[in-house]
Amino acid sequence: MEKPQADRIIEAYLPKLYGFAAKKSFSPQETDDLCSDILLEVYRTLLRSEEIYNLEGYIWRISERTYAKYVAEKKRREGLSLDGMTPDALLSYQDADPFEDADEEYRRLRREVAFLTEKRREVVFRFYYEGRSVSAIASELGLPVGTVKWHLNKAKKELKEGLTMERSIGKLGLSPVEAESIGHSGTPGANGGPEQFLGDKLNLNIVYSVYDEPRTVEGIAGELGVTPVYLKDRVDLLEANGFLVRTAGKKYTTYVRFSPLTYSLEEREALLKMQMQVAEELAETYVPLVRKAVENVREVYLPDGNRELLEASAIFYGVSGKCNIHSKIDCSRYSIRTLDGGEYAASVELKDKCEDPDYVPTLGLTNYWTCGSMNRRSGKYPVFSWSVDSRYDSRKGTWRNNRLSDYESLYEYITGQIADVPANAEKFARLRERQFLTADGRVNIPFVKGDQDAFFGLLPSLHEEMERKFARTALDCAMQRAKRYPQQMRDLVVCDGVQGFIGNAVGLMVLDILYGNGTFRPLTENERVGINLLVFSDVLPETK
């Protein structure tokens, strides 16, 4: 861009950029410094650019980025991060000393201004720092004159009270929680699942701070030991994406499910024992029905010709997906809807501590972790996949590594649309990395010809009599477990506990029985690639 054009743009946007800097600053000096940084960055960028289609959005993004850098630099110079919350850690109000030469009273006043509400801070800043009249502030903010006076009077009272009290850092400010894992049930957004928000340690602790009791922004700030002015953008982002939910009194709560900080070995084992009893009954009565239902399904491709691989996947799907106990609890409010199109229930596993370490389990407490069910449906080809990852398979990377493009590449390969030539090297390297293709070009996962709904529709559901039999036990277990969660989460815990009582864990228990008693022969390494994975297509791979 030519210099005269850039000069005209800077001149036109100067008032807006100064206003942006003023809203983000504590003092006129900070406003001038920030505005200067933004102007310099905008000017440099304009001179380097040839054509800009959305000028206002372009300048706004530069301003936000420059502000973020400005705050980060101030935090490095002036404040201490909370337990490694960098680079996005907020400024601790107890440790910050932004004006080294200022006296203690001035620092305390600045701290208390930061704890005012956003609107009240803005009124105070314009009245005391900019010297604007009440009527001018009212006009600029679109407020009645009486409301501006009310804010000023309330601010004076709150500042006076704040200066005479000692603020202390809350529990999370001294010992922030850390996520062991972040999960979801539902559809992730274009940018990913809840980890894109909660993978940030500060965001995680903001959300967790309202888990046990609703808090205002000021309450969150007090719990984390940070100034509210730096929290506002974070809170807005988390609220807009459903991780914070506004309640009465300008407070927030959350429907993200955090695991309890303590657990009982005895309680866990008691649940597993009940589920094992169910698994034993299903292995005896339900499994034969599934095997009977799929015995006439002949248009299948099995890498090593072992039909038990198909039956095992069908049994797991039937137990985990068609033997559920139904719940009448409406859990729709727990579904988080993000701005990038995600819709899911979010969960966070926190580091927990055993409350009965002296208890000696009688079971081995086998790992019943699973990822799935995962469905991948192509809009490009007639191909669909269902899978669940567990200790039975050798697949890596869970849902993030389970890409639709892999199944589309397989379809292109088995239909002759692509060949193993250098032009397709990336696709074939990916398929071999996942062991979906062997070194000699053989497809290494099961295929079923036809429609997935037709196949899964063959599988029987849990008989009503058996569902009633297991329902009371499931409800008792769920109610007991719900006591470990805050009140707003208990419906979800009960609902999941009832509906998930016969789920993936019981599915694994049934497979343990079948592989343990010799009903099914042990899986080979090749078969471990394809256990609990079925691809449905209108064509089958050729047997080599």
Mind listing the pLDDT tens digit for each residue in 390-432?
Answer: 999 999 998 889 999 999 999 999 999 999 999 999 999 999 9
**β-pair partners for 301:** 447
Beta carbons within 8 Å of 386's beta carbon, 6+ residues apart? 317, 373, 374, 375, 452, 456, 533, 534, 536
Q: CA distances (Å), 541 to each of 377, 402, 449, 486, in order? A: 18, 20, 10, 51
Q: What is the pLDDT of residues 456-481, one digit of tens each?
A: 999 999 888 888 888 888 898 899 88
Among the listed ranges 44-58, 241-255, 300-314, which one has the minimum average pLDDT value?
Answer: 44-58
Name, in order, each residue with C-beta under 8 angstroms of 463's C-beta and a sequence gap of 6 or more.
Answer: none
Q: Are 227 and 94 in contact (CB under 8 A)?
A: no
Q: How far apart are CA 539 and CA 544, in angstroms?
A: 15
The residue type found at 382 is P
pLDDT value, residue 108: 58
Neighbours of 460 (CB within 10 A): 13
**Locus of tokens 């609107």:** 119
Decide if pLDDT at 174 tops 80.
Answer: no
Q: What are the tens digits of pLDDT across the range 122-157? A: 888 788 767 788 898 999 889 999 998 988 888 887
CA distances from 292 to 226, 286, 317 (A): 63, 10, 15
* Ordered structural domains, the chain, with CATH: 1-78 (1.10.1740.10), 79-115+167-258 (1.10.10), 262-334+364-403+445-537 (no CATH)
Tens digits of per-residue pLDDT, 342-355? Answer: 999 999 999 888 99
d(CA 256, CA 379): 32
Contact yes or no for 225/170 (Cβ under 8 A): yes
Rg (CA), the chain: 30
Give tens-digit pLDDT for 244-265: 999 988 899 999 999 999 999 9
DSSP letters spanning 351-397:
P-EES-TT---SS-------EEEEEEE-SSSSEEEEEEESTT----S
Q: Is a pLDDT exceeding 60 seen at residue 536?
A: yes
From the list 235, 166, 236, 227, the residue with the least C-alpha distance to 206 is: 235
Predicted TM-score (pTM) of the model is 0.59
What contacts 499, CB < 8 A, 6 or more positions away?
324, 325, 326, 327
Q: Based on the number of CB atoms within 10 Å of its own CB, is 242 exposed (0-12), middle (13-18) or buried (19 or more)?
A: buried
Q: How far apart are CA 31 and CA 15, in angstroms?
A: 12
Q: What confidence tier does 377 reach under pLDDT thresholds 50, 70, 90?
A: very high
Statement: residue 332 has pLDDT above 90: no
Q: According to the model, what pLDDT value does residue 361 have? A: 84
How far is 326 from 214, CA to CA, in rounded Å? 31
